[in-house]
Structure formats: C-alpha cells, structure tokens
Amino acid sequence: MRSLNMLLFVVLLLGAPWRNASAIEYCVGTVAELTTALDDAAGASSQLFTTTVKLKQGTYHIGGTRLTEPNQAFFHALELLGGYNADCSVRVIKPDNTVFDADAADIVRIEPLNDLLIEGIRFQNVGNSKQVQVNSAADGVTASLRNNAFVGVSSWNVTGFDPDFNSVSDMSINFLNNRVHGFPGFASVSAVYMGGMTSIRFTGNTIADNQGANGVYVCSSSSVWLLDNIAWNNNGQDFRVYEDCGDTDLGEARFRANLYQSAELTQIGDSGGNLVGSDPLFVNAGAGNYRIQTTSPAVNTGVVSSSSTSVDLDGDARVVGSTVDMGAYESSVDDTIPSTLVVTNANDSGAGSLRQAIIDANTNADFSFIDFNIPGACPRVIALASNLPTINNGVRINGWTQPGSAPNTMSKGYNGVHCIVLAGGAVLSTGLKFSGDGQFWLQGLAFSGFSAGTGVALNISGGDGNLVWGNQFGAVLSSNAGSLVLQPSDTNILLTGFSSSTVGGDLPAQRNVIADATDKGVLVTPFSFFSPYDNEIVNNLFGSTGLELDAYGNFNGITLQTSGNEVRDNTIIYSGLDGILMDVAGANNNVVQGNRIGIRDTICAGVLCFGGPGANGRMGIYLSFGPHDNVIYDNTIKNNTSAGISIGSSTGGTSLRNWLVGNDIYANGAQGTFFNSYNGADNDADASNQDMANRGLNYPVITRAYGGTRKGWVEGTLATTNGNYSIDVFSSAAPDAGFPRGEGEFFHRSFYGVSISNAPSGQNGNTSFKASFPVAPITSLAGRVVTVTAADADGNTSELSAPVAYLCDVIFSHTFDDTVGDRCPQE
C-alpha cells in the first residue's frame, strides 16, 4: 500500500482488458498529493489501471502541476472526482466546493490515452489562453465532463495527437450538467468548443454571459445531441454546428428542449420543444447565481434522456416534478402531486395496490406517477395472483420512492437496493406490459419469476422515449435489502411493436441488472408490421450483480432483430450461448460499441479487487441469417467459449457490410473472428463468393512487422477486387494457439488509402501496403505478434490475418522518439 492517503493499490494480472484491468484509488487534499496521483496516472506502470482521484473539498492551486505544463498531461484511464469530505467517505457533487485554480497559468490541458471522467470541479483563473482543454491522445477515447463549472474560462475539447504526434480518431464526449460563464473571449474562440468527435452528448448545461466567437461551437455532424440546455447572452451564436472543422456547411444535430436566443444548425430526428428568446429568469446572473426562478419557462420543460445526470449543480435530485428542468440547476417545483398514485400495500389487488394504481393510471388521460410507500422492512414482495392490466397511458413507476431503496452508485458492478419486488411465482407470463402512445418510465423495481409459457418480465410494445433505469431482473438482491433470490424469467425485457426505448444510461443509477433469463436478457423484435426503433441499450450489467463474482447468465444476453438500435458500454458475461446475437436480416444498421463481452469488470472493495473471465457459452457476438450494415466498434471481447465475433451466411440471408473496427479480441476458445463459408485465399470476384459473410473479403497477408518499442511499421499485401480499403492493425501477447489466424488483443490504428485498380475482369487484383502504428494503448511493442484486417468502402470487413512476430530492432529510431525511449530490449 502506498502512502499519500492512497486507499488501495491492488494489481490483478487476470488477463482483464487494459481499459478495465485494475484500479488505483487516491483520497487527496493537497496539491502535493494531487501531483503524486497525477504522476502515477501518467506513468507507464499505470497503463493497466484506472486511476481514481477523490478530491477533498477545497481549493487546489494547480499552476505548475502536470495539468498546466505542456507535454506533461498524457494520462492513462483517469477519474477526477470533486466534493469529498475529510476521509473521502461522503461526497456532495457541487463544483463550487472543489476548485482548480490555475494561478494564471497559460492553459489547463488533459490529454487522455484512455477514458476520462471529470466530475464536480470548478475551473478558474487560467491565464493567456483562458482555456481548459481535453484533447484525446489515442483512438476511441471517451471523455465525460459532468457537473463542473468553468468560470471565466472556455472548455475546449478536440480529437488530438498521441505522444508521438500521430493523429488519433474516434473521440466521444459527454458534456453533461456543466456551467460555463464569464469567458472574456477571443475572436476565434468559443466558450465551448468540440471538434472532430464521433459522438457528442451535450445535455443539461448552462452556457451564459460569454464573449468570444460563440457560446457553443461544434464542428462535427456525427451523432450530435444538444438537449435540455440554457444558452443565454453569449456573443455570436448560442449554438453553432458545422459539418466539420474545415468548412461552414451546417451540421446536423438532435436539438431538443433547449432555451436560447440564436442558433445555426440543421435539426434532425425528434428535435423540437425548444424555447427561443424566452428569458430563463436566472436568480442573479450578475452575481454568478445561474439557478432559475420558480417562474422560469425552463422549469419542467426539458426531456429526460440516457444522458441526463442524477444530480444538479447543487447536488440535489436532477428530476423534481414531471420532467427535468432545462439548464444545470433543478428547481423545487413539483407539478406531479395532483397526478401521483401511491402504492401503500403489497396486496395483489384492491385499494392501495399496484394493480389499482395501474387501473387508475389507465383512466387518467394525462401522464400519471406511481410511487411506493409500503410499511415494513425491505424487501416488500408484491406476489401477483394474475397478470397485471396492460398500461395504456403515459406513466412513471418509481420504485426508488419506497423507503429504504437506493440507486446504484458503483461505476462498475451494482449496489442498488431494491425494496419493491414484483413476483410472478413462475406461474405468470407477464410482469409489466406497456402499449400506450405516451412515455413509459420505470425505475427501481426488481422482477422475479415470470416464466409461464414464453414469459416476459417487462414487455414494452408502444410509447416513445421510454426509460428503463435502475431495475433488477433475476439474480440476488442487494444484501442491504435481504438475501432474496429472484426467480428467473424466460425473457427479462422485450422491446417490440411501434416503440422507442432506452434501457440503461450513462450514469450508475441508470444501470439495470439483467440476469438469469432462461431465454433472452433483452429481445428487440418486430410485432406484425411494427418494429421498435431507435432503441438504446446502454451501460447495463448482464449475467451477474454486485461485484460480478457470481454467475447468473442469461441464455442469450442481447438479441437484436430490428434496425437502428445502439448497444453501448454494457458488461455481458456468463451467457449460456451468445453475448450479443443478431439472427435475422432485419437486424441492420445497428451500432454495437464499447461493450465488455466475456470479461468481468475489475471492481475493488476495500483492499481486494475482483475481475477476470466471465465467459459466454458460445460466441461473444454472433451474426447469422443475414444481418447487414451493422457497425461493431471498440468492444472488448475475451474469454468466450467459441469465437470472439462470428458472422455466418446461411439459408435465409447473406450477412453483408458489417463493419468491424477497433475491437480488442483475445483469449477466446476459437478464432478471434470466424466467418462461415469463408476462405481467405478465394477469388473475391467470383459471383459465388458474394454470398459469403461480408462478401468473403480476403484478409491481408503480413510480410513483416517491425520497429521500435513505441512506434512500429507493418507491411503486407491484399488480394481482392478493385476498390478502396482500410487496414486495422492489432497486436497480441501471443499467437492464437491451435488456430492459423490470430486474435487482436489490442487495437492500434486504422489507416486508409489502400487501393486496388489492377484486377482483371472476374479476378482479384492486388496491392501492397506499408503503414506506421503507435504503441498506444500499451507501453511496448517488443515481443508481441501483429495481425491486421481489411475493410472495403461499404464496411465489409475481413477476418483477422495470420499473426507475424514483431521484429523489435535494437537500433530503430524515428523522428519523434529519443533513442532511449524507443530502444528495444537487448538480446
């Protein structure tokens, strides 16, 4: 154990992925302690860790630290969390209680090599640039800035360069519930700037009284959400969105429930509900008080989404009333009291029962709220004698209102306390069913034993913007609520019909436990002529609970049979068959991103940390019977009993244009990637090969891989049809034992510009390629093996190639490395 009030330091070499392998946790109260924590987070030895820095309340003068020194701010996975008390046992997320004062240093800069979370910190007193910068330094970084204040400074966030000055890509940002005000401005700098992002979630912020170019400037048109913000009295445009940073073509954004004066962008999707030119009625903006008055038009006019936070900038509940307020502060106005139905007993029916509350909600043409206040100790089990009525009108059912209940607070795993259990006793077919036209919002319930026939614990077949947050399906309840073992259901969550739902969310309190289903954890499927659309399945725990020590696997984790869904940042372990299954041609245009499949999260309790394999019983991800045009990106897929990713072309459809990019695939029982009816040496121009998975695109052949420890080169050939191709580069600690082609333990880089134009009619052409790749996300390339994949312009991706040993040249050097830093180990 280290000194410096570090609470724990446990290294587990369990084969867990680099992003989640282990944790270092600090409790700091001085700049010296913060400096040591940051030094460790930047060190090579921390590339396996997430460094969590718990900051005691107070002011930290960070001038002269790594945060203000050029080229010193490269950090591995890092969390900076403000608001803690003297021993870091209690936290109040309120940025004005934890201040980073830059002492007039020119800039504050963080360059993450992996995921970054900054929460509950106030930034102030930055010198010449007036900027707090977050610039990604590796591919696929997600930066989350939540509940912070930027006072007299701008927030500048871009996709940047790695430590060797290679450009990086695919940065995502979650900019949630922040306050940015008083930026004095420069003609070319906006108060908030976001450039070159893959995904932007900009929700619940207050951006006010800023000079400079604009209030919020976005140069990206890839998955931009602007929701629930107040932007007021800013120079230029309050919101300006361009396609990219090199032109002035307007970009597209989901622009919903914002209060502002001016904007330049193209609204798409469900945009609307914005208030233009309505004074937000701040309490006292001149004194820096950007809370809103109770008569503000922003009160109870926002839209709750998967990117909503759980608390506002005062640390109070983020939703009071029927919906969230616009901006970073929540008022005390509760407009739900007249339409709130309270469940006061665990009876099957009658006054005060859940059944009666649903009956009453169905007779209310307006939105209803169902809360709980049942006397007695947790858990309170509602043992149903028959299926409940189908819910037909908009409703929020809030299990967290039952005394003794508590949402999950763990960043990984689950410690939510559920005091309301809906039980079917293994003799009922349905727990809750919603088929209305309004919104269905369910949180804080546990489900047990809906397994009669093809039983479903939660069936959603209607509604728009439905929310399923913080519920538990199967497994064992939290110990604080008793040791009740929940009975399995056949399917835990069914999304069908004409509906749009979010299951889970980015915050810990929004995570669901989805476990122990005898068939499917989540099934997204059409009903008759109607298909669910725009569903998000985000940040849930499939197959376990608590510290993820016990296996409560679903038979299949997630099954997608429709289009336009997003499956992101879930942990999917212990499934009887597949982690994620797409098994019909209707499963198309889905995005599967950032999931951990077959690998438990490393979770620390006291001085003990737990993690390691959580194998799914067959494939990590399996596409069969024709799914097409899906993007499978940036997932960690390990330890699965068969292949990591398998794509089959079988009777019933052909699986084409499935783009596999940036996934870490390793230690699976079969090949990392396996495509049925596939031969990497085939003539790709042959018509019969077009019926193979991803058109049977040949994998490249590596001729050599070489370089120093920090930067390498790969050379090879590709034989296929005419066209433009990209190459993804991976490295692994060892080749895939027993299989001719390798896996890809760590993704290093995608490079483009590989082209074939010499193919004779009906034959393959060929080309050679040579490209550099950086060491990130690891610290040395020495002793590893390299594999590659190819992808065409339509997204068809090949299997992983055969591995080639990396030749680490002891005299190799290049422009950006010093001789010592890149020197290979001597024989």
Using one digit for the tens of pLDDT, what is the confidence trace for 400-425?
A: 999 999 999 998 999 999 999 999 99
Q: How high does pLDDT run on average in the chain?
A: 91
Using one digit for the tens of pLDDT, what is the confidence trace for 654-664?
A: 899 999 999 99
What are the residues whose beta carbons fall under 8 Å from the beta carbon of 824, sequence distance 6 or more? 708, 709, 782, 808, 809, 810, 812
Is 89 buried (19+), middle (13-18) or exposed (0-12) by CB count in 10 A?
Answer: exposed
Judge whether 506 and 466 are in contact, CB under 8 Å: no
Across residues 271-277, what is the average pLDDT? Answer: 96
Please report the pLDDT score of residue 227 as a whole number.
98
Judge whether 777 and 112 are in contact, CB under 8 Å: no
Who has greater pLDDT, 637 or 18?
637
Predicted TM-score (pTM) of the model is 0.88
Nearest C-alpha neighbor of 110 from the set 79, 133, 139, 142: 133
Nearest C-alpha neighbor of 540 from the set 524, 560, 522: 522
Under the phi-then-psi rule, with left for phi > 0, alpha for psi from -120 to 50, and beta for the rest, what region is 811?
Answer: alpha
Cα 554 to its chain centre, rounded Å, is 21
What are the residues whose beta carbons fall under 8 Å from the beta carbon of 737, sequence distance 6 or more? none
2 has pLDDT over 50: no
Nearest C-alpha neighbor of 323 from the set 310, 311, 340, 336: 336
Using one digit for the tens of pLDDT, what is the confidence trace for 19-51?
A: 333 468 899 999 999 999 999 898 876 776 788
Please report the pLDDT score of residue 443 as a whole number.
98
In this prediction, residue 677 has a pLDDT band, given cuts at 50, 70 and 90, of: low
Supply the Cα-derived Rg of the chain in whole angstroms.
26
Amino acid (1-letter code) at residue 221: S
362 has pLDDT over 90: yes
Judge whether 260 and 276 are in contact, CB under 8 Å: yes
- Angle subtended at Cα 156 by Cα 154 and Cα 157, rounded to the nearest 5 degrees: 150
In this prediction, residue 54 has a pLDDT band, given cuts at 50, 70 and 90, of: very high
What are the residues whose beta carbons fall under 8 Å from the beta carbon of 404, sequence distance 6 or more? 377, 378, 417, 419, 481
Using one digit for the tens of pLDDT, what is the confidence trace for 537-546?
A: 999 999 999 9
Q: Which two tokens stand for residue 586?
A: 């209707």
Nearest C-alpha neighbor of 388 from the set 463, 338, 288, 456: 456
